[in-house]
Structure 1
Amino acid sequence: MSYERLLQRVTSILIMAGYAVSERCGMRPRSFDLIARRDDEILIIRAVVHIDSMSEEIAHELAAIAHFLKGKPLVVGEKARDAELERGAVYLRYGIVSTSAMTLYDLFVEEIPPLVYAQPGGLYVNINGELLRTLREECNMSLGDLASALGVSRRTISKYESGMGTTLDIACRMEEIFDTALVEAIDPLSHPNPFEDGNEERSAEILPGFGRIGVEYFSTRNAPFEGLAFYGDDTILTSYGPAQKVMRRAALIANLSNITNSRAVCVIKGYNKQKRIGIALIIGESKFDSLESGSDLINLIDD
């Protein structure tokens, strides 16, 4: 499947599932392709045919943008290594959940969550350890008895009962022994964002002046906006540069701002007017320099 067809399929699935979907991000390189929102749930989505082709830099920025927009990063692809992604399985790339379009369809449209996760060595599942212990004790089976039946060690059985995952084959054999479902569904959107692992970073502002007015900043390299600005609980998508560059991206930035319930401001070098493209405010550098506080910026955008 081509990238274009994959992106079209992902967009269709999201719309069927009731998400509002942004315009696509067509720049290269790009850290994400789409942003989707359903109620308070925001997805920052990267579509890539071969999930192994996503670089660590792109993954880091994807995770960071999702973190700052209070969303979930998600990679949708078709292949990993030399094989098709398994339907109903989730994969991790640089700590970000990756899955196939059909698994996405099952999850969002059919409301059938995946059961399997891929790790080096094969496919694994999570089992209900407390239920396993209860069933084993009800059947008067010792740890050793169950270990012998499954061909594993007593210590491994103890770890299963404490919540350790197991292979799909072992899980199926346990379910046959006890005639009870033990495999637990996976919620891909509950997986922790790798950017949040002690990495609450901000970065140098691309537009001088945010620090002066008490606004924090995170700069991006592979997004339509140059960065994300923060003032209190408010998030602002920002763009800065010559008119041709900024105007080319302003409509998309406004669309992304609308989807994410954030604000947007585009600052143009040598520009002396003030206008709007969608909900994005377009101002010149001199107007921005006249602001005295983050509150002035918020009020200007909302005026």
Structure 2
Amino acid sequence: MNRKFVKDVLSLIGDKGVLINGKASDIVVKREGRIFAVIAERNASRIKRGKVGVLNALAKAIDAIPLIVSEKMGSEKLLEDVIYERFDTPVASPETLNKLLSGDKIYIRKHKSAFVVSVNPKELKRKRVESGMSLGALADYLGVSKKSVYDYERGESKVSVDVAVKLVELFGEEVLEEVNFNEFEGVIEPCEPHSPIEAKLLDRTEGVHVPKGNVHVGKEREFVAVVPHGDEELQWFGEASKMIDKKAFAVGFEDLPKDLEGGNVEIARDIEEFVRLLREGKERDGRQRSA
């Protein structure tokens, strides 16, 4: 972890809804109804594929957006209001992260060597037809071919920043779409459980396992089960489970630390007890829904 840079990022975004020092990410933050799992490193090029894979596994497990926050990519300084990528995972500057957390829309993505923007095809066609412009007239205005405009309106092509600016001047921002984080597939490295109890947890619950983080989320996303290696790690996952509004089970522990007693973390001394508690919880929830 680049502690100095993490501190710089935190000083910019503030500490509201923030967890730090997780095993799989540097920062997890929830704002405006969205959760971001963040690795902070001054130069994104220094981050290895394996670490990005762990980040993506955690993000998938807790329904978060994975994000690498950096100032540079190699020798290139990251621009504000642009989403870059590394290992098919989003990368942004600290300033861009701050805007995302404030609910601002980010439209520009750097894909390979080009800066591109997605068009809302239905809105573009509606606005063009309402204005009385033909495909050819719009193509001439934008400086592109008629076929390009046809492709824009079918959602089959992104536009350059210059074309996006002209479209906004003509029709407004409604014809653009913000960067869709679901388009990033993100590498997830295959992982093996680190202990027999983790192996049993995977076998019995068929969920998403996060390597090195020892967190396991059921495929229905109704619980978080952790096999922590210490009280500090358990504390972190207890706080994380509150953030994502899931029940947390500490599997393989005999007792909870005093500061976690009465919270949302429940002890399961072994896998069998965990499965029983999970089943009882589902039955209880089912009765409450039918009442």
TM-score (norm 2): 0.73
Amino acid at match of 1:274: D
Select the structure of larger CA radius of gyration.
Answer: 1
Structure 2 gaps, min length 5: 281-291
Aligned residue among 7, 20, 24 for 2:17: 20
Q: Is the contact between residue 191 and residue 211 of structure 2 (CA under 8 Å) also seen in structure 1?
A: no
One-letter identity of the residue aligned with 1:94: F
* TM-score between both structures, scaled by the size of structure 1: 0.71
Pick one of 236, 241, 245 that aligns with 2:225. Answer: 236
- Give the structure 1 partner of residue 116 of structure 2: 124
Distance 1:252 1:155, change over 3 A: same
Q: How many residues align?
A: 272
CA displacement at 1:236 relative to structure 2: 1.1
Which of 184, 194, 200 is the matching residue for 1:210?
A: 200
> Are the counterparts in 2 of residues 21 and 34 from structure 1 also a CA contact under 8 Å?
yes
Within 2, Cα distance between the matches of 1:126 and 1:218?
Answer: 31
1:74 aligns with 2:67: yes
Greater shift in the superposed pair: 152-161 or 204-213: 204-213
Hey, what does 2:83 align to over in structure 1?
90
Shift of 1:167: 0.4
RMSD: 3.8
Q: Which residue of 2 aligns with 1:47?
A: 40
Q: Relative to structure 1, is the Cα distance of residues 248 and 266 closer, same or farther in structure 2, using a 3 angstrom cutoff?
A: farther
More helix by share: 2
Using the TM superposition, give the Cα deviation of residue 264 of structure 1 relative to its aligned residue in structure 2, in angstroms.
Answer: 4.3
Q: 1:149 to 1:259 in 2, by over 3 A?
A: closer
1:229 and 1:121 map into 2 onto residues whose CA distance is: 36
Tell me by how many angstroms 1:159 deviates: 0.8
Does residue 285 of structure 2 align to residue 288 of structure 1? no
Aligned partner letter, 2:185: P
Instruction: Please state how far the C-alpha of 1:161 moved relative to its aligned partner.
Output: 1.8
Q: Paired residue for 2:185?
A: 194
Amino acid at match of 1:118: K
* Equivalent pair of 2:61/2:217 in contact (CA under 8 Å): no
How far does the alpha carbon of each residue in 1:234-292 deviate from its partner, in whole angstroms, 9 at most, with x for none?
A: 2212225xxxxx35644434443444444142637xxxx63425436678xxx537x45
In structure 1, distance between residues paired with 2:49 and 2:68? 13
Q: Is 2:139 the counterpart of 1:157? A: no
Deviates more, 1:210-219 or 1:259-268: 210-219
Secondary structure in 2 matching 1:210: helix
CA distance in 1 between partners of 2:61 and 2:257 (Å)? 24
Change (3 A) 1:274 1:75: same
Q: Call closer, same or farther: CA 1:298–1:35 in 2, change over 3 Å.
A: farther
CA contact (8 A) 1:205 1:217 kept: no
Task: Output one character per residue of 1:11-67: Cα deviation in whole Å (capped at 9) or x when no partner.
Answer: 344446xx4211323xxxx53112223486432211121223322222222112111
- Where structure 1 has 5 or more consecutive residues not aligned to the other structure, the ranges are 241-245
Out of 14, 32, 50, the position equivalent to 1:57 is: 50
1:69-112 CA distance string (max 9 Å, x none): 22222221111232221111112323322211111222323x43
**Is the CA contact (8 Å cut-off) linking 2:215 and 2:224 kept in structure 1?**
no
